[in-house]
Chain A
Amino acid sequence: DARVTQTPRHKVTEMGQEVTMRCQPILGHNTVFWYRQTMMQGLELLAYFRNRAPLDDSGMPKDRFSAEMPDATLATLKIQPSEPRDSAVYFCASGGHTEAFFGQGTRLTVV
């Protein structure tokens, strides 16, 4: 049963700390998306990659967020330093040519 795996599922951290979220895309998928979901903004695209190359990261606050794909089986989203306004659910999704499948998300709380 192919699925997108995200870790951790939950993270509580103090303001100013570094947070790293990880995503294992479905094997064979060449596109990886990072979305953030909040009640106010809904699903916002932060960044996406194709064949591990970043295509669009205009949705990310560049001063504190970074996204990478060190290899085809791992995508990371890092926040440094974290702030309370970063509290949200962060989703990774992977896709082939058309469809995209989401992971279960990382619920981040910054206190």
Chain B
Amino acid sequence: GENVEQHPSTLSVQEGDSAVIKCTYSDSASNYFPWYKQELGKGPQLIIDIRSNVGEKKDQRIAVTLNKTAKHFSLHITETQPEDSAVYFCAGTVTGNQFYFGTGTSLTVIP
């Protein structure tokens, strides 16, 4: 099955700086890559996703890039704010199948 690795496990940035979280995957058949944000005591919330036929996708301050050749994808958060502090999970899947999650990145934005 798919193996998704995520780095770093913890990340601290100053408010206003950018944050980047990277994931790699092993199964070249994977074609859908969502990112989830999990706040304390809550369930993971889908924040952005990308499909394998797209190289980059943006939504306001967040963006995701995908390099199919290298089998890696990244989450970029610009102009970070304290409310961005949370645990972020990447995942990979073949559409319609189970999601394979990374181990999570705990992001702290320092005011």
Please report A residues at the B interface, Cβ cutoff 8 Å.
Answer: 4, 31, 33, 42-43, 45, 48, 50, 56, 91, 97-105
Q: Which of B17-25, B77-85, B95-103 contacts A (4 or more CB under 8 A)?
A: B95-103
What's the minimum C-beta distance from B38 to chain A, rounded to whole angstroms?
A: 9
Q: Smallest CB–CB gap between B45 and chain A, Å?
A: 7
B88 at the interface (CB under 8 A from A): no
Can you name 29 A-B residue pairings with CB atoms under 8 Å?
A4-B43, A31-B96, A33-B98, A42-B101, A42-B102, A42-B103, A42-B104, A43-B44, A43-B101, A45-B98, A45-B99, A48-B98, A56-B98, A91-B43, A91-B44, A97-B95, A98-B51, A99-B46, A99-B49, A100-B46, A101-B46, A102-B43, A102-B44, A102-B45, A103-B43, A104-B42, A104-B43, A105-B42, A105-B43
Residues of B in contact, count (CB < 8 Å): 19
**In the assembled complex, B73 has its CB within 8 A of some CB on chain A:** no
Mark each residue of chain B from 83 to 111: 1 if its CB lies under 8 Å from any CB of chain A, else 0: 00000010000011011011110000000
Q: A31-B96, A43-B44 are in contact. List 13 more A-B contacts (CB 8 A).
A: A33-B98, A33-B99, A42-B104, A91-B44, A97-B96, A98-B32, A98-B51, A98-B96, A100-B46, A102-B36, A103-B43, A104-B43, A105-B43
Give every chain B residue within 8 A of A100 (Cβ-Cβ): 34, 46, 99
Listed residue (A48, A97, A102) with the most chain B CB atoms within 10 angstroms of its CB: A102
Say whether B89 contacts A43, CB under 8 Å: yes
C-alpha spacing A43/B103, complex, angstroms: 8
Q: Which chain A residue lies CB-closest to B100?
A: A45
Cα separation A104 to B45 with both chains bound (whole Å): 9
